[in-house]
Amino acid sequence: MKLHKKIIVSLFGHKKPCPDFDFRNVRSVLIQPLGTAVGDAVINTAYAAQIKKMYPQAHIGIFVTPRNREILSHCPAVDELVELKWPSFFKHRKKWDLFLDFHEVFTSRELIKNKILSPRATMIFKKKEKPHYHLGNIKNYDFYCPFSPREHVSRHLNTSEFAKHHPVPAPEICFGFAEEEKRQAAPFWQAGGKIKVFVAPQGSVPFKAVEPRDLAALLNKLAPELRPRVQFLLCRTKTAEAFFAALTGLLDADIDIRLSAPTTLQQYIAVTASADLVISVDSGTAHLACAAKRPLLSFYVEHNINTWSPLHRADVPHFMMIAKTGYDQADDEYKSWLFREDFPVQDGADWLNTQLRGLLPDSATNPPPPPPPPGSALIRHLIQNTSERVVNLDKLTYAGNLQSLAAVAGSPRYTFEHADICDRAALERIFAQHQPRAVMHLAAESHVDRSIDSAGEFIQTNIVGTFTLLEAARAYFEKQPENQRAAFRFHHISTDEVYGDLHDSDGLFTETTPYAPSSPYSASKASGDHLVRAWQRTYRLPTLITNCSNNYGPCHFPEKLIPHIILNALSGRPLPIYGDGSQIRDWLYVEDHARALHTVVTHGKTGQTYNIGGHNEKTNLEVVQTVCALLEELAPRKPDGVARYADLITHVPDRPGHDKRYAIDAAKIQRELGWTPQETFDSGIRKTVQWYLENQDWWQNVLNGNYRLQRLGGR
């Protein structure tokens, strides 16, 4: 080691430990962001928001540079912008309770800076190894929080030391736009009432760029009726004029596209926020569009999509045009990633036309449909966050609702097939027509109470149906060429109820827990699991099994506990709780489950089982009381005669064979595949209640069918 490096390590590479740091009482937090680019800064606002939610009274500071200051000044969770300069380090010496250092490497400057700051406690995250500075000789921190390389950068706090002491909120962009800022953008558009589409085909570095030929191919597929009603504004960069000249030479004459005037960063933010839709490469513009809640069409490759994709809201349309060919590390760093034959132009064009039609003034009276139901949350995830084509096979039984499928019905990558998994002929036709590379088997009769009243349908669907689907998949699989057989997967989605009851135990269900189902429903699902394993062992069908805990979230069928309680409370009906309500379940937000399923089918090892849990054990009584408390806050106008929602709680005789406790150990999927839930129960249940309050039309349509807020299984 060089002498000066040794001296720096000796003087600045250590700090006085803080073994008694109290995570329950944090008064001030200083953040060293990860990166300084615009997109980096937008992502870092999620950290500030998470801390502010955990510690509402804490003073939150964040280091800024001229490059990211404007962005971070828009984050309402940040109380103080701290200049990343030497005088500022001395000014802030010993000022902070906790310093969060997201910087990826130890450097001499960083070591000296952190020593000057001398916060009470320091938390660092994953650090890259350097010859002279590394975790072996640098000890200037109190808490080290490594993370999975597959994990999105916004989730670092969710798996940090914080999670041992607090429920860490799911990461969300925290960005404020003032209306007067948006008005600054008006001179840039000159759109004359047209739909405004902001286009950013080039990033801050050359390799983050879409080629003019590809962008022209996309824009030339704009529907004829839309062309006079849409204006495209091309983002100005250092090389924008040459790009614009090349692009316009390839575009149809009736495409209205203009080159933006030069902008300040503040004006650029305003232009992005004022657009009706944004088209952007992997750049700060894409992140700003998500912050502004703008519909976004983005260009990505699979190389970094898992770690740096924008944090978009599930209720805002976002289509990723993903080039499947990954980045070749042997190539020049600045090679264009998107100059490829697999660029999905048609898919992007179909999505763009659909979104623009929805933005026409005459479509304002037709609001977008609500999101699909829990059984379709996976479809929503696949359509919005990947480039996968999805065939949805559904029998549409009593719980089926075509209205809930409307959110994805317009996608060119979505196909609906009305069929029964017990119908072998229909399955063979669907396999032959659509040629899937994976089957994700979620079809099931799923309500325990109904299985007690009528077990036959559960045996037919969950056992016979699984057998029929396995046989159809096997026949299809065996006809495929060798390379396609190697890529094929049959993913069977099951439940934690197959494991039985954890009563009188503080243990958790693992993938090796013996099966001991208690109800007709869980017995039928256990049978399906055994069939899948048998087809793997006997026929070498490449299968995967996941067992999940209790799902909840938007569009859940109203006989399930949480929506049943919400809707009963809103109508002033009794809130029935079986027995004393002490039954414990592990609750998993439906969108977390969807992410996990996609992770397993794409990265899981065939023949394996993965448990998926939310790490949210709650008694049924706690769940109902939480819903009542949220309704007091969010729906204070109660039905006549109701003083408090909690007064409606009614204890009813317990159902037969009712298991006392379920709890999932999800360590395997976290360890091997890098998945962890993003939602705590507190954040997820608030979103769920809010959704039911805002989507009365959806559940009223459900209730107008055969279902009438009845729960079964009382015998």
Known catalytic residues are 496-497, 521
* Residue 319 backbone phi and psi in degrees, to 5: -120, 125
- Gap between the Cα atoms of 146 and 422, Å rounded: 47
Cβ-based neighbour number of residue 297 at 10 Å = 23
- Phi, psi at residue 589, to the nearest 5°? -65, 135
Written as six digits, the tokens of 643 are 């003083």
Query: Helix 520-539 to helix 466-478 angle, to the nearest 10 degrees?
Result: 20
Residues 6+ apart with CB under 8 A from 449: 559, 655, 711, 712, 713, 714
- Inter-residue contact 210 to 322 (CB < 8 Å): no
Gap between the Cα atoms of 524 and 58, Å rounded:
51
204 by Cβ neighbours in 10 Å (0-12 / 13-18 / 19+) ranks as middle
Instruction: Give the H or E element holding residue 597.
Output: helix 590-603
Exposed, middle or buried, 600 (CB in 10 Å: 0-12/13-18/19+)?
Answer: buried
Do 574 and 643 meet the contact criterion of CB atoms below 8 Å apart? no
- The span from the CA of 82 to the CA of 62, in Å, is 6
Measured from the Cβ of residue 543, the count of other Cβ atoms closer than 10 Å reads 25
Q: In angstroms, what CA-CA distances link 713 with 110, 447, 451?
A: 63, 10, 8
Give the separation between CA 715 and CA 709, rounded to whole angstroms.
18
